[in-house]
Amino acid sequence: MQTLTELNETFAIPGALVFESCHGDLLCAHITTEACTATIYLHGAHIAHWQPIAESPVLFLSKESLFAEDKAIRGGVPVIFPWFGPRTAFGPDARTDGPMHGFARTQVWEVAFAAISGQDLHLTLTLGPTPISRGYGYDNFRVAYEIIFGCDLTMRFSVANQSDKPLHFEEALHTYLHVKNVEDISISGLVGAEFLDKVEDFKRKRQLEEVLHLTGPTDRLYLNTAATVTVDDPGFNRQLITSKKGSKTAVVWNPWSEGAAKLADLGDDEWEGMVCIETVNANENALTLHPGEAHTMESKITLIKQEDASA
């Protein structure tokens, strides 16, 4: 594992990128550019903060989040790999063991590259086999996670199969967006898409509304869609647009008050200030890579400021 001294000697950029110990022994990187500020933890390759200059934070981070080596961080952009939700049995070596949402979000990733280009900071983290991943049967893979921090937030998640057998996996960038009040937002881009409604025992439905308004617990897994999703947030006078490549699944999630009360790492009223718009490949859109193949999934968040209606 890279030490704090090694990270700063090799990758730090004066005035733009510095590595520190955060919340005890967790290593993180603080990023400051002309365009934004950001924080990413090596624990889970977890982006905890991204804020364009003169804007409110774009990512929600719970005040109750557990910053511990064996726990995922609540908020920001958790990395989900190599399964989404509980591990589902498949193939000749079918297994159902392992933590919820895979092992990647609680592993320590390595920094492989850092550079400034114009107003953007480019950072790449990597993950390979570890004793934990091998214990779950994943011993011949490589993941590279390239993030571009700037006026936009671009995340590219690449998986390579280095074995002589097919690699079957699911993946997600479980993005928590910060909104003023979730009851006032509107979500567009998913009209006509089929989804599995987890709130109703995974019943398969089709979204008929042009614009989605959340009125209660929501957990929808949209299938076979590459759509760009726009969150219109009148409280912050802005739109948050999530576009993607290499992804055929999307998730819209908010636990509402009922669900928040069951989560130890989410404040009882924090659900009001967040909505998850996730870039995913899961369920029937899960991926299989043959030996030597690789796949890249990209998610890009763009903020568009709206004119103040009171002006």
Give the integer Cα–Cα distance in Å for 99 and 84. 10
Is residue 302 exposed (0-12), middle (13-18) or buried (19+ Cβ within 10 Å)?
Answer: middle
Give the integer Cα–Cα distance in Å for 90 and 174. 23
Q: What is the phi/psi pair of residue 256, to 5°? A: 60, -175
Q: CB within 8 A of 250, min separation 6: which ones?
A: 190, 193, 221, 222, 225, 227, 229, 244, 277, 278, 279, 280
Q: CB within 8 A of 114, min separation 6: which ones?
A: 11, 12, 13, 17, 121, 122, 123, 124
Q: Is residue 150 part of a domain?
A: yes
* Nearest C-alpha neighbor of 119 from the set 4, 195, 38, 182: 38
pLDDT tens track, the chain, 311 positions: 899 999 999 999 999 999 999 988 899 999 999 999 999 999 999 999 999 999 999 999 999 998 998 899 999 999 999 999 999 876 556 789 999 999 999 999 999 999 999 999 999 999 999 999 999 999 999 999 999 999 999 999 999 999 999 999 999 999 999 999 999 999 999 999 999 999 999 999 999 999 999 999 999 999 999 999 999 999 999 999 999 999 999 999 999 999 999 999 999 999 999 999 999 999 999 999 999 999 999 999 999 998 743 33
Residues across the chain: 311
Q: Is residue 18 part of a domain?
A: yes
Task: Indicate whether this model's pTM tops 0.85.
Answer: yes
Q: Is residue 63 part of a domain?
A: yes
The token pair at 160 is 């390579």
Q: Is residue 15 part of a domain?
A: yes
Q: How many distinct structural domains can be found in the chain? A: 1
Q: Is residue 260 part of a domain?
A: yes
Q: Is residue 311 part of a domain?
A: no
> Contact at 8 Å (CB) between 47 and 37?
no
> Contact at 8 Å (CB) between 170 and 82?
yes
Q: Is residue 310 part of a domain?
A: no
CA dihedral sign of residues 241, 245, 246, 248: positive
* Nearest C-alpha neighbor of 278 from the set 118, 84, 5, 45: 84
Report CA 263 to chain centroid distance, whole Å: 19
* Nearest C-alpha neighbor of 133 from the set 170, 87, 166, 102: 102
Give the integer Cα–Cα distance in Å for 299 and 175. 9
What is the residue range of 242's domain? 4-305
The token pair at 188 is 């567009």
Domain harbouring 151, CATH code:
2.70.98.10
